[in-house]
């Protein structure tokens, strides 16, 4: 017997037929003798529709009312699933965010969970009652409804799992697990049996959007064992766990790419102390996140080029922000380019093995792919390359690190 939290994403509850299928899955776990808590998303597409309604009335909306509206999608699915479970003879009930309560701060639209008072839920679970909790929603200190930011139901599920001290938090979705690379691009990508929290965080931050990043951070902090799995099959998915649970650590676990990148270059920037601070200050003030940076050594000791990347959506704003400061910053030209992609190699093995980056550089060189910018972290090496080489680069790297399926 185990205590588990099962979370179902929007595509898993997209219509009544799928909700009935979810109910069968939940019943399966109860029949197997497990204590079960369930967290549900809104039916796929519903949250977008609710956001659109709000936008239609006012783009300068009151975020507290935005939350009242967009939190409702999850309320609908929690009630429907409770009904489907009752139809199967289970003792089930919904329990909304404010009823548990899932306490959050008052940052409406992107609230953070501060505490979950789960005593009552635990009591119910011990008595065999199935509690169905709508994800994505909570309650602010003043009692008003909050939401956790798009994709927030993953975080609700992990928080509930932590609060009830669940043995496992199963995240049911429309993919069967976490893959070594995007299977739509790399045909030989494999499903991973296990991956560490750290690797999963890096994967999420560079484009593999299976889980909301915050949910992985929370799982890591509270040591909640996660499993990403398909709601369409009974096959085991990918376990996201602590390093100690992984016996044979692979050197590299994943190759990812992010197309949401823009490269900005300032030419002939003065090569003197304080220049980087003057450039990146205004960008930070404009809430633009700068990712990779490369500054060339100046040939003449006086001026140099500075290149960095921002999210595609911030490109225009970044260019305008810097242009406005041109006299202050004293560069010659500002160039920007969106035909770039960031390719990353991720693996815990990098901490203890040398030559991982070198292997990446030579695999790309062998294919004649030019590297524009490089950045590294403890368990990740990223390069910026021309977008048209994305597929070629991913496949070459997947092969080079021995990840190809047999």
- By CB under 6 A, name the binding residues for ligand ASP: 10, 41-42, 47, 73, 135-136, 150-154
d(CA 40, CA 79): 10
Cβ atoms within 10 A of the Cβ of 106, count? 14
Residue with the shortest CB distance to Mg ion: 151
Is the CB of residue 220 less than 8 Å from the CB of residue 198?
Answer: yes
Only segment of 30-38, 43-51, 86-94, 145-153 that touches Mg ion (CB under 5 A): 145-153
Which is closer to ligand ASP, CB of 10 or CB of 347? Answer: 10
Least CB distance to Mg ion at residue 160 (A): 16
Which of Mg ion, ligand ASP, none does residue 136 bind to, with CB < 5 to 8 Å depending on kind? ligand ASP
Run of H or E residues at 310: strand 303-311
Only segment of 1-9, 46-54, 187-195, 396-404 that touches Mg ion (CB under 5 A): 1-9
Least CB distance to ligand ASP at residue 205 (A): 18
> How many angstroms separate the first and last alpha carbons of the chain?
36
Which of Mg ion, ligand ASP, none does residue 177 bind to, with CB < 5 to 8 Å depending on kind? none
Is the CB of residue 228 less than 8 Å from the CB of residue 175?
Answer: yes
Q: What binding mask, one character per residue, do residues 150-189 give for Mg ion by CB under 5 A, x or -?
A: -x--------------------------------------
Least CB distance to ligand ASP at residue 14 (A): 11
Least CB distance to ligand ASP at residue 156 (A): 8
Is the CB of residue 129 less than 8 Å from the CB of residue 92?
Answer: yes
Least CB distance to Mg ion at residue 177 (A): 15
d(CA 344, CA 120): 44
Q: Which residues pair with 304 in a beta bridge?
A: 269
d(CA 70, CA 54): 9
Rounded to the nearest 10 degrees, what angle do helices 213-222 and 153-163 cross at? 10
* Chain contacts with Mg ion (rule: CB under 5 A): 9, 151
């Amino acid at each position: 017997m185990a205590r588990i939290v099962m979370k179902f994403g929007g595509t898993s509850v997209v219509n009544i037929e799928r909700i009935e299928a979810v109910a069968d899955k939940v019943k399966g776990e109860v029949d197997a003798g497990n204590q079960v808590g369930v967290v549900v998303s809104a039916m796929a597409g519903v949250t977008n529709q609710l956001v659109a309604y709000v936008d239609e009335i006012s783009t300068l909306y009151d975020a507290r009312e935005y939350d009242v509206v967009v939190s409702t999608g999850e309320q609908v699915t929690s009630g429907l699933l409770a009904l489907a479970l009752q139809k199967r003879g289970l003792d089930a009930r919904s329990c909304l965010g404010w009823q548990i309560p899932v306490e959050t701060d008052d940052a409406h639209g992107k609230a953070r969970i501060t505490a979950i008072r789960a005593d009552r839920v635990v009591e119910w679970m011990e008595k065999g009652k199935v509690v169905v909790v709508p994800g994505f929603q909570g309650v602010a200190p003043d009692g008003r409804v909050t939401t956790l930011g798009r994709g927030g139901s993953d975080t609700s599920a992990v928080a509930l799992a932590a609060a009830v001290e669940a043995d496992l938090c199963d995240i049911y979705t429309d993919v069967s697990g976490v893959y070594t690379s995007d299977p739509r691009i790399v045909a030989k990508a494999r499903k991973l049996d296990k991956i560490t929290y750290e690797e999963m965080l890096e994967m999420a931050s560079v484009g593999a959007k299976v889980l909301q990043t915050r949910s992985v951070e929370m799982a890591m902090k509270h040591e909640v064992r996660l499993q990403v799995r398909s709601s369409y099959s009974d096959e085991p998915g990918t376990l996201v766990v602590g390093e100690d649970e992984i016996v044979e650590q692979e050197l590299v676990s994943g190759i990812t790419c992010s197309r949401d990148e823009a490269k900005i270059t300032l030419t002939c920037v003065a090569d003197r102390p304080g220049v980087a601070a003057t450039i990146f200050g205004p960008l930070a003030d404009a809430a633009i996140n700068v990712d990779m940076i490369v500054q060339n050594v100046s040939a003449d000791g006086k001026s140099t080029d500075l290149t960095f990347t921002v999210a595609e959506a911030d490109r225009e704003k970044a260019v305008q922000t810097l242009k406005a400061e041109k006299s202050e910053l004293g560069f010659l030209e500002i160039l920007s380019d969106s035909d770039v992609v960031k390719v990353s190699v991720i693996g815990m093995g990098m901490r203890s093995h040398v030559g991982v980056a070198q292997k990446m550089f030579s695999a790309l060189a062998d294919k004649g792919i030019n590297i524009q910018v490089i950045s590294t972290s403890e368990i990740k090496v990223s390069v910026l390359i021309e977008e048209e080489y994305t597929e070629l680069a991913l496949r070459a790297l997947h092969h080079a690190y021995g990840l190809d399926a047999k």
